[in-house]
Amino acid sequence: MAIKLNGKPSEVDEGMSLSDLLAQMKIEPLKVACELNQRIVKRAQYAGTKISEGDEIEILQMIGGG
């Protein structure tokens, strides 16, 4: 299924959730914020949030610094 991931065209399996996508990308959910179609998704909703054809997903990684 075609989506846009962090501004770039990408293909994902049909029926995937945000949790599935993060697991496939080997990303720790506690260290990112996810936006689906310009709306922030709460971490507690990642597993229940299914990805659809044409969705735009942004994954923002937290980076510490000083």
Residue ranges per domain, the chain?
Answer: 2-61
Order of strands across the sheet that contains 32-36: 8-11, 2-5, 56-61, 32-36, 39-41
**Would you write out the chain's pLDDT as a tens digit for each of its 66 residues?**
999 999 999 999 999 999 999 999 999 999 999 999 999 999 999 999 999 999 999 999 888 776
Per-residue pLDDT, 43: 96
What integer pLDDT is reported at residue 66 of this predicted model?
66
Helix (H, G, I), strand (E, B) or coil at 35: strand
| pLDDT in the model for residue 64 | 76
pLDDT at 63: 80
Which of these CATH numbers, 3.40.50.620, 3.40.190.10, 3.40.50.1000, 3.10.20.30, describes 2-61?
3.10.20.30
